[in-house]
Amino acid sequence: MMNEVYANISRHAPSGGKYEVPVLVKTHSLEITEVNDKGAWHSGSLPGGHGLRQFAAEIEHIGGSLSTDCENGIWMFHARIPFD
């Protein structure tokens, strides 16, 4: 998934744009957040190809979540991946 996150930043963020990818390990889940400059997608929709859609389906299958949003030219992605 991290390869997909960074590939999307490379593909879609403007050259020289800012981005952050904090990863938080919690007791029963891993949380990945991506925030970068952009703004070409509609709010709440998964853009482009199948990468994020495939990850969303896999994560939701195991009880996690993946969400995206684009607001004021800022792309936001958040995944919560549960584990035991």
Q: What is the pLDDT along the chain (84 residues), one digit of tens a residue?
A: 899 899 888 888 888 889 999 999 999 999 999 999 974 544 445 555 678 889 999 999 999 999 999 888 899 999 999 998
Q: For position 48, what pLDDT does the model report?
A: 56
Distance in angstroms (rounded) separating the CA atoms of residues 61 and 74: 28
Residue type, 41: W
Q: What is the CATH number of the domain that holds 34?
A: 3.30.565.10
Q: How far, rounded to the nearest angstrom, does the alpha carbon of residue 81 sit from its chain's CA centroid?
A: 12
- Give the range of the structural domain holding residue 73, as residue numbers without chain letter: 2-82
Q: For position 49, what pLDDT does the model report?
A: 61
Q: Based on the structure, what is the number of domains in the chain?
A: 1
Q: For position 84, what pLDDT does the model report?
A: 84
